[in-house]
Amino acid sequence: MDSRTKSTDLSGEFAGLSVADAAAAYKEMADSVLATMYCLVADELAIRTKDRPAGGRKAAILDVGTGMGHLAAELGKRFADRAVVALDLSPIILSEARQRGGLPEGVRPLAGDATRLPIRDAAVDIIASYGAVHHIPDKTGLFAEIYRALAPGGLALIIDLNGRADRSVVDVIAGSLSKAAAGAFLESMDEAIAPDEAQSIIRAAGVPDFIVTTAPISRRAVAMNAGALRKAPLRVPPTAIIWGAYIKKAG
pLDDT in tens, 18-29: 666 666 666 666
pLDDT in tens, 166-176: 999 999 888 88
In the predicted model, what is the mean pLDDT of the chain? 85
pLDDT band of 8, cuts 50, 70, 90? very low
Question: Which top CATH class is 18-248?
Answer: alpha beta
Q: How far is CA 137 from CA 123, 134, 211, 245, in A?
A: 24, 8, 21, 18
pLDDT in tens, 156-169: 999 999 999 999 99
How many helices and strands (H and E) does the chain possess? 10, 7
Most confident option among 10-14, 59-63, 100-104: 59-63
Single pTM value for the model: 0.86
pLDDT in tens, 37-52: 899 999 999 999 987 6
∠ at Cα 37 (35, 41), nearest 5°?
A: 130
Euclidean distance between the first and final Cα of the chain, in Å? 44
Find the radius of gyration of the CA atoms of the chain: 17
More confident residue, 20 or 90: 90
User: What is the mean predicted confidence (pLDDT) over 211-223?
Assistant: 95
User: What is the mean predicted confidence (pLDDT) over 8-16?
Assistant: 46
Q: How many CB atoms lie within 10 A of CB 38?
A: 22
Domain ranges of the chain: 18-248
Phi/psi region, residue 12 (left: phi>0; alpha: psi -120 to 50; beta: rest), is left
